[in-house]
Amino acid sequence: MRMRSTMIAGALVAAAAIAATGGVAQEQKAGARAQQEAPQWPEFQSPQLGFAVSFPSTPHTTSVAVAGQNPLVRYSFEAYEGDDTVYRVVVLEYPAGKAPNPPSEAFYVKMVSAYAKDSESRVRKRGPATIAGREGFEAITDDGKGKIHHLVSIVPAGDCIYMLISAGPRGHATSDDAERFRNSFRVTDGQSQSAASPATHSP
């Protein structure tokens, strides 16, 4: 009788393990199906500025010389999704050999603080991050009413510093779409060691 009870218990454990494995497999299939069903974002490339990234639509492009720091030029590539979500790449192009190399933490903090001031938001989290295979910096900021959340990633590469910015409703900064945008970014000038690497971050 004891042997039969042991066999039954073993069978129940095995059945539970199979059921758990099947549940995991179903979750993985559901996740893969959701990714397949998600709209494909076309990749935007800027050979001149050495980067590529996926936007939900064709971005609007502007450029301006930074006052008092000529010939530093700031480029902006911006695309909206719906009425309340925006994805933006800001590129600071320095004269050859004049970009901070490597940028100090104080430099990153200054950039994040300036962004928070311009966007009328406050910094919630910030810290070093590895983005597109490069050591950089990342922050999450929120507007005063907590309705708009921003994910700001800063990537240095050669004579350029790239800021990847996405902003949207509550929870956007940690959403799949915000990570999707950031992780689609790659440097195309041949300097990145692992351009396809996903970002790791502290915020």
Question: 141 with 165: CB under 8 angstroms?
Answer: no
Question: 119 with 87: CB under 8 angstroms?
Answer: no
Checking if the pLDDT of 33 tops 80, the result is no
Q: What is the average pLDDT across 141-158?
A: 92
Q: Could you give the residue ranges of the DSSP H alpha helices within the chain?
A: 2-37, 105-118, 176-184
Model confidence pLDDT, tens digit, residues 56-66: 999 999 999 98
Measure the CA dihedral 38/40/46/47, to 10°: 120
CA-based R_g, the chain, Å = 22
Q: What is the average pLDDT across 61-87?
A: 91
Q: Could you give the residue ranges of the DSSP H alpha helices within 53-126?
A: 105-118
CA 185 – CA 195 distance, rounded (Å): 8
Please report, rounded to a whole number, the percentage of residues in the chain having pLDDT higher than 90.
65
Model confidence pLDDT, tens digit, residues 150-200: 999 999 999 999 999 999 999 999 999 999 999 999 999 744 333 334 444
Q: Work out the mean pLDDT of the chain and round it to a whole number.
A: 81
CA 16 – CA 6 distance, rounded (Å): 15
* pTM of the model as a whole: 0.75
Name the band, by pLDDT with cuts 50, 70 and 90, for residue 145.
Answer: confident
